[in-house]
Amino acid sequence: MKTTGAKTFYLPSADYIWPHLLNKAASQIVRANGGEIVGEEYFPLDTVDFRRTVEQIMASGAEVVFNTLVPPGLTPFLDELHKAGFGKRGGKIICTYFDENF
């Protein structure tokens, strides 16, 4: 937040313990620094259709997507977000586990 000035965050997440705990901590930090969580969703691990969620992200005005989705849904999600123009409008993606494959 200090580097980018971002204040609005969307948290798309896989539905298991790690994303729930990480989002709780991230939300506390965002709010403590004057930011807002504009959306938080949890999905079954096998979810691969994120069109509705990406529409919500784009409509929310989120500046940052704090992602805790995992494969197999991660690639389709990132593809939809890219197609929607999230990065072109200046949106940032935060993911704590990216590797060279993504």
85-101 pLDDT per residue, tens: 999 999 999 988 766 66
pLDDT of residue 98: 64
Does 6 score more than 80 pLDDT? yes
Q: Is residue 1 part of a domain?
A: no
- CA-based nearest residue to 41, from 2, 82, 12, 75: 12
pLDDT in tens, 32-79: 999 999 999 999 999 999 999 999 999 999 999 999 999 999 999 999
How many domains is the chain partitioned into structurally? 1
Q: Is residue 102 part of a domain?
A: no
CATH code of residue 79: 3.40.50.2300
Q: Is residue 3 part of a domain?
A: no
Q: Is residue 28 part of a domain?
A: yes
Does 21 score more than 80 pLDDT? yes
Output the average pLDDT for the chain: 94
Determine the structural domain holding residue 24 and report its residue range. 8-95
Q: Is residue 64 part of a domain?
A: yes
Give the strands of the sheet with 64-67, arranged side by side.
36-43, 8-14, 64-67, 92-95
